[in-house]
Structure 1
């Protein structure tokens, strides 16, 4: 049986992550901590047998992937199907602002209503279709190989649900940390979980905070 091993990485931290501001498809770059996380992730993957590296075309994912590509000697290939969910008119707001101004929308979001979409945005059903099609396409290109995919929290949430056969509306009980390493095996029967939420490579003597202070 030919399977594809997928190492799925969430991008490093951004200033908007710290502010709990909804990024969606707005192109926000990594902050200093995010760059540090990207380098640590690259070092953690150095020496692994990787055939290809794919990333969302948003800079926070592409910057993270570029650090990994440098460590592995691989170019980064862009795939727009790996973009974060589009949150429409709510992009740029904090969750607190959204709950204060649109409590009904916030409640639908919290309950993970599958067909709910903010104006100009994507529903969970639309996101799931896009993400699952993208991963199936990439897996089919690399049967018997291992690839690295750098994307976003919403994208990796869908990947986890697909690999564990978890319903879209099930409450999230798994981590989606910035720069976490997550492993999935994609077979003809679909994806299965190998490992999730590894952040051991980010537990270093030199803290990201100290790096932020030096580079500020």
Structure 2
């Protein structure tokens, strides 16, 4: 049974650096984004190391064994009997490449499979995809101002509304939680499962807002997410000991980054990754 959901945003891309709306345009991580994804991946792999123990316990053929003539074989029962093996993890990523890169930076360390699901795609920005805010403002200052103030003017350009994104995301999360192939119930299992979802900033914030019953257009409901940051929600399947048809969600962590983000320039990366002429990342100015 899935009792925890972690949502991880992808690392930085060139579009992020240039403040271009990516939406569902498929672009890769840049060198700093790969560094961010790796740093977060290492931190989360350390935190969730039990997922590797569980995976090896279920697939003992993957446990390294010494060659002929060794004094003894690796005892696979140590993995199978370890308390850490009692919990599983399922990793599901948006099908956009930047999210898949970020998912593999985490999952590959633990030996976990990455499933792909297009329902985790970023908010569609319609005709505005690929544009900067300056270009949008020049094109239609009224619609830009309405978007800025969360009054929906962007939808006239085919932009998916915040409410629509949140509904799409929440439906996907609830479907995945109920999916027997992911929660293990199809195989008759009832062990606890952490669901790791790797996706995009606007999708994550809108989805969490919907799951918590917040106004998707509320100006201060949830802040924006840094690249390669994560959020964590508890999933409640009972209330006062009684099962419920629809799970309840509690937000435990939001916009968390690894410790290195507090001591390094997280948005621009270390100096030895920055080639000549690379732009400096700047905060978004409306």
Q: Same fold (TM over 0.5)?
A: yes
**What's 1:140 paired with?**
178
Question: Deviation string for 1:31-50 (max 9, x for gaps)?
Answer: 00110111111111111435
- Distance (whole Å) between structure 1 residues aligned to residue 110 and residue 156 of structure 2: 39
Kept in 2, the 8 Å contact 1:54–1:149? The answer is yes
CA contact under 8 A between 1:3 and 1:186: conserved in structure 2?
A: yes
**8 A contact 2:92–2:197 mirrored in 1:** yes
Q: Distance in 2 between matches of 1:121 and 1:6?
A: 27
- Choose from 133, 140, 147 the match for 1:109: 147
Return 127-136 or 143-152, whichever deviates more: 143-152
**Corresponding position of 2:281:** none
The 1:139–1:212 alpha-carbon spacing in structure 2 relative to 1, beyond 3 Å, is same
Distance in 2 (CA, whole Å) between partners of 1:149 and 1:48 is 18
Aligned residue number for residue 151 of structure 1: 199
Partner secondary structure for residue 203 of structure 1: helix
Aligned pair partner of 2:225 in 147, 161, 176: 176
In 2, the alpha carbon distance for the partners of 1:123 and 1:45 equals 32
SS in 1 for 2:155: coil
**1:88 paired residue number:** 126
**Matched positions, count:** 215
- Are residues 200 and 31 of structure 1, via their aligned partners in 2, closer, same or farther at CA, if it must alter by over 3 Å? same
Larger relative contact order (C-alpha < 8 A, sep ≥ 6)? 1
Which stretches in structure 1 are left out of the alignment for 5+ residues?
none
Cα 1:167–1:114 shift into 2, 3 Å: farther
Q: Alpha-carbon deviation of 1:114?
A: 5.4
**1:190 CA displacement:** 2.5
Distance 2:166 2:257 in 1: 25
Task: Please give the root-mean-square deviation of Cα atoms over the aligned residues, in Å.
Answer: 2.3
TM-score (ref. length: structure 1):
0.89
1:107 is paired with a residue of what secondary structure?
A: helix
1:209 corresponds to 2:270: yes
Structure 1 116/4 Cα, relative in aligned 2: closer, same or farther at 3 Å?
farther
Shifted more, 8-17 versus 188-197: the winner is: 188-197
**Structure 2 alignment gaps of length 5 or more:** 52-87, 184-189, 238-246, 279-286
For 1:127 and 1:203, locate their aligned partners in 2 and report how far apart those are by CA, in whole Å. Answer: 28
> Residue in 2 aligned with 1:38?
37
Q: Which residue of 1 aligns with 2:252?
A: 194
What SS does the aligned partner of 2:249 have? strand
